């Protein structure tokens, strides 16, 4: 009786719902038990139990401890259905690391517009870059009745167990910005590999061969940085430039420092170290890092881009257009990422079919004044 790609519990729900709507099960009639349903449909008791739980959540049945499950009266069913359409079952939750007036909000218009067009509401929850806070939200939101979660992970190394549990239990969840490489679940990300590859390739075209890769977090900590680094390595390799590990700077604790002056001194020390290694270009993790590096370079008297070219990532105009030298960067299409993620989550909610594909949204090279000829840079000394 069960067939197709839909989860087994979802198919059982549809069959029982049909019996109730056609009057084959009348109000207050007892339904088969979990054991009986499991035998009838050839599934596990866990599957049949979940089907009954979901029917109870829909307001189609009520359950009595020790007695079983019973059909609700049609008037009660209609009222419950209307209440669900206007409340929790129409809510999609978004978990993000922080909320600020920058590109993080760029995801939201795309998500909100699509959800609204489909009759859903968006609730936003801040994990504050805390893996434990993210975990609490992942545990609590499904229990509150939210229909699905769009997750911007703090790290693709944390909370793997609960994310995997939600996904394998067919709970609608999709990630944005990052993806879990060992989980076959839906995700929407920028083409970070191509972003890293494009940035390095453009610098090589300008004549640079001593290109530093700079990230304040460990490369393996987030899939975004890892993929950008791999793209950087590919560009160097294709141009017969050795990947010099001495020019790869990552896992630095600078972001934890709350004092901008402390960060400035850190970057000054780092820049002096890079110049000793004859670095002529820096490929930064994101625009804030590029912004901080340019500030430090200006204070050291390093000319940008004559002596040092710098590329950011994101096209966060709060930084790229307000730096001492406008920053060349890689632009992400945040709105398209948000729209695609919302499309995937709604499809899962409405069809019951889990999402398993990773969608990569193209990036765009945005040249500005922070990049220039590498040939000149190699022949100049710090003033």
Q: Which domains does the chain have, with CATH numbers?
A: 8-85 (1.10.10.10), 90-185+334-362 (3.40.50.2300), 192-328+367-378 (3.40.50.2300)
**Residues whose CB falls within 8 Å of the CB of residue 198, separated by 6 or more in sequence, listed in order:** 231, 235, 330, 363, 365
Percent residues over pLDDT 70 in the chain: 88
Mean pLDDT of all residues in 292-314: 95
Strand spans (E) along 143-226: 148-151, 173-176, 187-190, 211-214
200: Cβ contacts below 8 Å, ≥ 6 apart: 211, 231, 232, 235, 236, 283
pLDDT at 326 over 90: yes
Residue 104 has pLDDT above 90, yes or no: no
pLDDT given at position 381: 46
The two three-digit tokens of residue 144, written as one number: 């509150």
Residue 305, preceding peptide bond in cis (omega within 30° of 0): yes
Task: Report how far residue 137's alpha carbon sits from residue 351's, in angstroms, rounded to the nearest whole number.
Answer: 24
The answer to whether the Cα torsion of 67, 69, 75, 80 is positive or negative is positive
Query: Across all residues in the chain, what is the average pLDDT?
Result: 86
Buried b (16+ CB within 10 A) or exposed e, 174-208: bbbbbbbeebebbbbbbbbbbbbbbbbbbbbebbb
Determine the pLDDT at residue 226. 94
Statement: residue 85 has pLDDT above 50: no
Rounded to whole angstroms, the Cα distance separating 360 from 351 reads 23
pLDDT in tens, 242-273: 999 999 998 776 544 455 567 888 899 999 99
pLDDT score for 300: 94
- Residue 81: is its pLDDT beyond 80? no
Residue 101 has pLDDT above 70, yes or no: no
- SS (HEC) of 221-274: CCHHHHHHHHHHHHHHHHCCCCCCHHHEECCCHHHHCCCHHHHHHHHHHHHHHH
- pLDDT band for position 335 (50/70/90)? very high
Instruction: Provide the pLDDT for residue 256.
Output: 41
Instruction: Give pLDDT tens digits for 128-161.
Output: 888 999 999 999 898 888 899 999 998 888 899 9
Mean local confidence (pLDDT), 82-108? 67
Q: Is 2 exposed, middle or buried (0-12, 13-18, 19+ CB in 10 A)?
A: middle
Tell me: pLDDT of 22 over 60.
yes
Q: Find, among 176, 162, 172, 103, the residue nearest to 133 by Cα.
A: 162
Q: Whole-angstrom Cα distance, residue 252 to residue 259? A: 15
Q: Residue 311 in 3-state DSSP? A: strand
Assess whether pLDDT exceeds 60 at residue 59: yes
169, HSE (Cβ side, Cα atoms, 13 Å): 13
Mean pLDDT value across residues 212-219? 91
In percent, the amount of the chain with pLDDT more than 90 equals 50
State the residue for tokens 């007892």.
Answer: 30
pLDDT class for 75, splitting at 50, 70, 90? Answer: low
Q: What band does 383 get if pLDDT is binned at 50, 70 and 90?
A: very low
């Amino acid at each position: 009786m069960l067939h197709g790609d839909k989860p087994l519990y979802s198919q059982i729900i549809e069959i029982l719902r049909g019996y109730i709507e056609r009057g084959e099960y009348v109000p207050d009639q007892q339904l088969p038990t979990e054991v009986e349903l499991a035998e009838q449909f050839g599934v596990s008791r866990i599957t049949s139990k979940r089907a009954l739980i979901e029917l109870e959540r829909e307001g189609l049945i009520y359950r009595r401890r020790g007695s079983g499950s019973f059909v609700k009266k049609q008037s009660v069913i209609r009222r419950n259905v209307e209440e669900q359409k206007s409340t929790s079952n129409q809510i999609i939750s978004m978990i993000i690391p922080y909320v600020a007036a920058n590109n993080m909000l760029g995801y939201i218009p795309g998500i909100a517009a699509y959800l609204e067009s489909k009759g859903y509401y968006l609730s936003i929850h801040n994990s504050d870059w805390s893996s434990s806070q993210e975990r609490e939200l992942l545990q609590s939101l499904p229990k509150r009745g939210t229909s699905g979660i769009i997750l911007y992970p703090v790290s693709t190394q944390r909370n793997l167990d609960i994310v995997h549990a939600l996904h394998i239990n067919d709970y609608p969840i999709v990630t944005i910005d990052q993806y879990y490489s060992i989980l076959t679940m839906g995700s929407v990300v920028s083409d970070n590999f191509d972003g890293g590859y494009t940035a390095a390739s453009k610098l090589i075209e300008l004549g640079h061969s001593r290109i530093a890769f700079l990230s304040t977090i460990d490369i393996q900590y987030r899939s975004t940085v890892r993929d950008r680094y791999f793209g950087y390595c590919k560009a160097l390799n294709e141009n017969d430039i050795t990947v010099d590990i001495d020019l790869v700077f990552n896992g630095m604790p600078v972001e934890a420092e709350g004092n901008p002056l402390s960060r400035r001194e850190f970057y000054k020390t780092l820049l002096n170290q890079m110049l000793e290694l004859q670095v002529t270009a820096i490929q930064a993790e994101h625009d804030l890092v590029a912004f901080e590096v340019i500030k430090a370079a200006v204070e050291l008297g390093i000319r940008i881009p004559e002596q040092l070219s710098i590329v950011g990532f994101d096209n966060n105009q709060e930084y790229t257009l307000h730096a001492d030298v406008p920053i060349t960067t890689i632009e992400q299409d945040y709105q398209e990422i948000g729209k695609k993620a919302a499309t995937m989550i709604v499809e899962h909610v409405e069809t019951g079919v889990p999402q398993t594909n990773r969608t990569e949204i193209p990036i765009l090279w945005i040249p500005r004044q922070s990049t220039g000829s590498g040939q000149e840079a190699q022949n100049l000394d710090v003033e």
